[in-house]
Amino acid sequence: MSALTSPRVTSPRSRTVRHASVKLAAGVKAIQGGAAMIITSGTGKGFYAPADAAKVGDVEGLFLETVDNTLGAAGAASARVEFGHERELLPFVNDTGTPLADSDRGGPAYALDDQTVSAAVSTVVTGRLYEIDANGVAWVEVNASFDVPEASLSNVAPVNPSSSAASAGAATTAARQDHKHQVPVATTGAEGLMSAAQCSKLTSLAAPDVMLWDKNAADGGATDATTEHVVYVATGAETFSKFYFVPDAALTADNTNYATLTVSKRDGLGGAAASVASVATKIAGGSGNWSAFQAVDLGAVTGGGLAAGTLLTIKATKTAGGVALPAGKLYGVAAVA
């Protein structure tokens, strides 16, 4: 859609929402009175679930009814929610080139022009996407209070499981990064929030391990691949120095039938993917056998420096007969420049 050249009349011109029926993520059960979160990254992105520290998202209100979708797909069931505040929504035209979809709900709607919003990352955020209605209109909460793209928010891992500190039982605070790049820091006798700038002054503080991908289920078969998808969006100049995967189960390496995990980066402008780190589940020149809950290093990082708007992606390819990858989590060791 092109920018406006004459007045635009919309009907209705705005909506105010305090209660609504929201679509539930797959495999969840909403309980009346329980906190309702919208998932903003990973499996179930754009759908609602009971608040859960294992997921990435935002609590938006309370469930007004109990609805069981434990056996249903994402969106198969809906539940009424009372939001924590009245949400003022404005209508926009949805981009036809890179349109916003259900999975983008709760995340940023980027301005393409003065009447069009898009999923394509740009320097102007119109607001938080509420929904795409039956007529294809994108309803956006323009005055939503968030400062960085939801896609870039992720969980801070307690500590690299392969580190000596983890073996010794060193304690760090595990929590979600907030919208202003603040990270929780455990201090002697107390806990408090410190900004990234303050943290950088503490030379003894290690860079946070950012959870990039929650692989919540094992592959269905040995040859099942994972297509490339975005797991992180840089909101400023950042550098990743290491990536590792923590599997929930063991895996037997093989030089003929194996899988390859690859982290790549894209410029967010349609450029080609550039491999940043990868590992194959081979005996020779690969990861070797995996053990449950022990970190698997993805090897040397090439081009780990990211500019604002750069995307990190993950994919899993299979060679010959392949191997079924277990569930687990991918982490990156990052430092905010």
Per domain, the residue ranges of the chain are 15-148, 152-200, 209-336
CA angle 160, 171, 146 (to 5 degrees): 75
Per-residue pLDDT of the chain in tens (337 residues, 90 and over written 9) = 567 666 765 555 788 888 999 999 999 999 999 999 999 888 999 999 999 999 999 999 999 999 999 999 999 999 999 998 888 899 999 999 999 999 999 989 999 999 999 999 888 899 999 999 888 999 999 876 554 444 343 433 444 444 444 444 433 333 333 333 344 444 444 444 444 444 444 433 344 678 889 898 999 999 999 999 998 888 888 899 999 999 999 999 999 999 999 999 999 888 899 999 999 999 999 999 999 999 999 999 999 999 988 999 999 999 999 999 999 999 998 765 4
Q: In this structure, are strands 78-94 and 108-111 parallel, antiparallel, or unpaired?
A: unpaired
Q: How far apart are CA 73 and CA 11, in angstroms?
A: 33
The predicted pLDDT at position 176 comes to 34
Of 243, 179, 170, 180, which Cα lies nearest the Cα of 205?
170
The predicted pLDDT at position 208 comes to 61
The predicted pLDDT at position 35 comes to 95
Is-contact 253 283, C-beta < 8 A?
A: yes
CATH number for the 209-336 domain, one of 2.60.120.1110, 3.10.450.50, 3.40.47.10, 3.40.50.300? 2.60.120.1110
The predicted pLDDT at position 234 comes to 85
The predicted pLDDT at position 1 comes to 59
The predicted pLDDT at position 245 comes to 95
Place of tokens 């080139």: 97
Q: How far apart are CA 160 and CA 332, in angstroms?
A: 9
Token pair of 219, please?
Answer: 């592959």
CA angle 44, 47, 52 (to 5 degrees): 70
Q: Name every residue whose Cβ is closer than 8 Å to that of residue 306 and which is 6 or more positions away in sequence.
A: 234, 237, 238, 239, 240, 265, 312
Q: What is the pTM of this model?
A: 0.44
The predicted pLDDT at position 248 comes to 92
What's at 102, amino acid-wise?
Answer: D
The predicted pLDDT at position 252 comes to 97
Residue 198: strand, helix, or coil: helix
Of 307, 319, 320, 143, which Cα lies nearest the Cα of 240?
307
The predicted pLDDT at position 157 comes to 41
Place of tokens 């450029």: 271
